[in-house]
Amino acid sequence: MSISNLEFTAANQALGRAQRILVVPHANVDPDGLSSALSCYQLFRALGKEVTVICPESPPESLSFLPGYDKFKREIQEDQQFIVTVNLEEGMEVDKLRYTVEDHKVNIIVMPKGGRIASKHITLSEGLNMYDLIVVVDTADLSLLGSIYTEHMDLFSQVPILNIDHHISNTEFGQVKLIDTTAASATEVIYHWLMQMPSYKEKMTPDIATLILTGIITDTRSFQNPNTTPRSLEIAAELLEMGARQQEIIQNVYKSKPLSTLKIWGRALNNMQIDKEAGIVWSTVSREDLAEMDAESKETSGILDDLISTVPDAKVYVMFTELEEGGLKASIRSTMEVNVSSLVAKLFGGGGHPRAAGFRVKSFDNFQLQVLECVQKLKEGIVQQKKDDADFNQSSSGDFKTSYGRSGGIIKNEAKVPDKIQEVKEDKNKIEIDIVEKLRGSDSDSNGKVDVMEEMA
Ligand SMILES: [Mn+2]
């Protein structure tokens, strides 16, 4: 299904009205998601918008050639503004204004001159949303945004969403949609959008062309997949004419594994071990391995997903890497049978997702012995988890099970103390400041608006 003129017009209007835009690709992001997000970023910036572009996990370094790669933010900054308004009566002035912070309470103290303030003069309101449009790219359903969505559901329900996608499974979420299920990539949809509007088209640059072509090349696996259409080949040709750097894409996407990486991958394959009974497959790369192969510890990422977890008949896959700075990191994957997120949280204070998690061990005498100890703990932990689940299924209702299933998320939330509150608690306990005094003589802007916190800092 392709996109109608009406749908393009609606998207153009939404973009025209928007000034502060949030762009988000799906979690477990792929090159098409990243390229779509960055091409939107580049286009919207060129049109004079404020744009925040999110990549929920650290994007693969092999894609750092993508123009604008350094613009990615990991988290949505939802700085809320809560406004307490004191409506002054005729002739009333503010003599003194100060605030105190104590025991989790902010007291705003207003001393009026010429009159009295009563509770009826106070109104409360929430300030503007940080964003007035959310553009979701390459994502079939909002749930696929992962924690970015689940941790900001209010934002996603309050702010209009433009859904740009090419998945046949798209659930058509959002107020405005540009969904073309015949497009080879989400960037191809963006290309059509860009071309139908002269004021967008003139913003096309070799950088944007490179981003759009990256999405097409990677989602078609270099035009090998059956989703490659005559149209996507034509678009690729047009993009090359617009200055898309095809060789740069190929070099970075397909020919980017240094010899040292391949050698360390070979070493990891050779070190693989299996405990058939427990269903655990693991491998190790020690500091000596790294030194011998002239490799760095970060080069072991990818071994787990591309090599180790292809072993059949196991439940848990672990890659242990000894780190240059000391200690070890373990990455862990699992089948549906085991929740590795709660497992490593309990055993090692690690975290992650139910099927993909990680943990670190800071210090030990002997790497190989430490690995064996970790494997032993994991074996026992898996048995215990199975037992707990069985007990649990017997003794509880379905509802409670759901919240247990989300235990990874809950643990994470508890550990996360909002930064702002922590800051106030640590540094500003029992502060008393007379704001009017402090600001007297300082420049306030023409509206009389002053950011008190900023002035104090
Ligand atoms: Mn895609």
In a domain? residue 15: yes
Domain boundary among 228, 253, 278: 253
Same domain, 116 and 242: no
Indicate which CATH number applies to the domain containing 166: 3.90.1640.10
Q: Higher-confidence residue: 180 or 351?
A: 180
Question: What is the separation, in whole angstroms, between the first and last Cα of the chain?
Answer: 55
Q: Which two tokens stand for residue 14?
A: 């939404």
30 C-alpha vs ligand 1 centroid, how far in Å?
8
Beta strands 356-361 and 93-102, pairing class: unpaired
Nearest alpha-carbon partner for 189 in 143, 235, 153, 154: 235
Sign of CA dihedral 47, 48, 54, 59: positive
CA-to-CA separations, 306 to 94, 301, 333, 433, in angstroms, rounded: 66, 9, 12, 58
Residue 365's pLDDT is: 95
Same domain, 247 and 161: yes
Determine which helix (DSSP H) or strand (DSSP E) holds 263, and give its type and residue range: helix 259-270
In a domain? residue 234: yes
178 C-alpha vs ligand 1 centroid, how far in Å?
14
153 C-alpha vs ligand 1 centroid, how far in Å?
23
Residue 396's pLDDT is: 57
In a domain? residue 418: no
Instruction: Tell me which of 14-28, 91-105, 232-246 is least confident.
Output: 91-105
3-state secondary structure 319-347: EEEECCCCCEEEEEEECCCCCHHHHHHHH
In a domain? residue 175: yes
d(CA 357, CA 336): 13
285 C-alpha vs ligand 1 centroid, how far in Å?
33
Beta strands 105-113 and 351-352, pairing class: unpaired
Same domain, 184 and 235: yes
Q: Do the Cβ atoms of 218 and 30 come closer than 8 Å? A: yes
In a domain? residue 199: yes
pLDDT single digits (tens) 146-177: 999 999 999 999 999 999 999 888 999 999 99
Mean pLDDT of 223-246: 91
Q: Which two tokens stand for residue 371?
A: 């690995």
304 C-alpha vs ligand 1 centroid, how far in Å?
23
In a domain? residue 430: yes
* Res. 32 pLDDT band, cuts 50 70 90: very high
Same domain, 235 and 269: no
Domain boundary among 224, 253, 282: 253
33 C-alpha vs ligand 1 centroid, how far in Å?
6
Helices of type H across 271-366: 287-293, 303-306, 340-348
121 C-alpha vs ligand 1 centroid, how far in Å?
54
Mean pLDDT of 215-223: 88
Residue owning tokens 């050779």: 270
Which distant-in-sequence residues (6+ apart) come within 8 Å of 388 by Cβ? Answer: none
407 C-alpha vs ligand 1 centroid, how far in Å?
30
In a domain? residue 311: yes
CA angle 419, 423, 428 (to 5 degrees): 160
Beta strands in 56-127 (DSSP E): 82-86, 93-102, 105-113, 122-126
In a domain? residue 228: yes
Instruction: Tell me which of 95-99, 104-108, 125-129 is least confident.
Output: 125-129
Same domain, 244 and 307: no
Residue 228's pLDDT is: 85
- Domain range for 249 is 5-77+130-253
Same domain, 345 and 319: yes
Q: Do the Cβ atoms of 182 and 229 come closer than 8 Å? A: yes
248 C-alpha vs ligand 1 centroid, how far in Å?
20
What does the DSSP 8-state code read for residue 202? T
Residue 290's pLDDT is: 96
Same domain, 235 and 343: no
Same domain, 271 and 404: yes
Beta strands 328-334 and 316-322, pairing class: antiparallel
Q: Do the Cβ atoms of 280 and 274 come closer than 8 Å? A: yes
Q: Evaluate if residue 421 carries a pLDDT over 60.
A: no
179 C-alpha vs ligand 1 centroid, how far in Å?
12
- Count structural domains, the chain: 3
299 C-alpha vs ligand 1 centroid, how far in Å?
26
35 C-alpha vs ligand 1 centroid, how far in Å?
9
Residue 149's pLDDT is: 95
Count CB neighbours of 260 within 10 A: 14
* Res. 385 pLDDT band, cuts 50 70 90: very high
d(CA 213, CA 195): 14
Q: Do the Cβ atoms of 349 and 312 come closer than 8 Å? A: no
419 C-alpha vs ligand 1 centroid, how far in Å?
35
396 C-alpha vs ligand 1 centroid, how far in Å?
41
Beta strands 122-126 and 82-86, pairing class: antiparallel
Angle, in degrees to the nearest 10, between helices 206-219 and 31-46: 160
Residue 352's pLDDT is: 65
Same domain, 100 and 150: no
Domain boundary among 203, 224, 253: 253
Q: Which two tokens stand for residue 412?
A: 């994470």
Same domain, 400 and 330: yes
* Distance, C-alpha 204 to centroid of its chain: 27
Same domain, 288 and 346: yes
229 C-alpha vs ligand 1 centroid, how far in Å?
15
25 C-alpha vs ligand 1 centroid, how far in Å?
10
Q: Evaluate if residue 210 carries a pLDDT over 60.
A: yes
Nearest alpha-carbon partner for 62 in 218, 264, 276: 218
Instruction: Tell me which of 4-13, 93-102, 262-271, 386-395 is least confident.
Output: 386-395
219 C-alpha vs ligand 1 centroid, how far in Å?
6
Q: How many CA atoms lie within 13 A of 368 on its CB side?
A: 5
- CB-based burial of residue 88 (10 Å sphere; 0-12 exposed, 13-18 middle, 19+ buried)? middle
* Res. 380 pLDDT band, cuts 50 70 90: very high
Neighbours of ion ligand 1 (CB under 5 A): 32, 138, 185-186, 219
What is the value of pTM for the model shown?
A: 0.56
186 C-alpha vs ligand 1 centroid, how far in Å?
5
Mean pLDDT of 319-336: 93
Q: Which residues of 19-48 are buried (b: 16+ CB within 10 A; e: fewer)?
A: eebbbbbbbebbbbbbbbbbbbbbbbbeee
Indicate which CATH number applies to the domain containing 361: 3.10.310.30
Same domain, 146 and 189: yes
d(CA 249, CA 255): 9
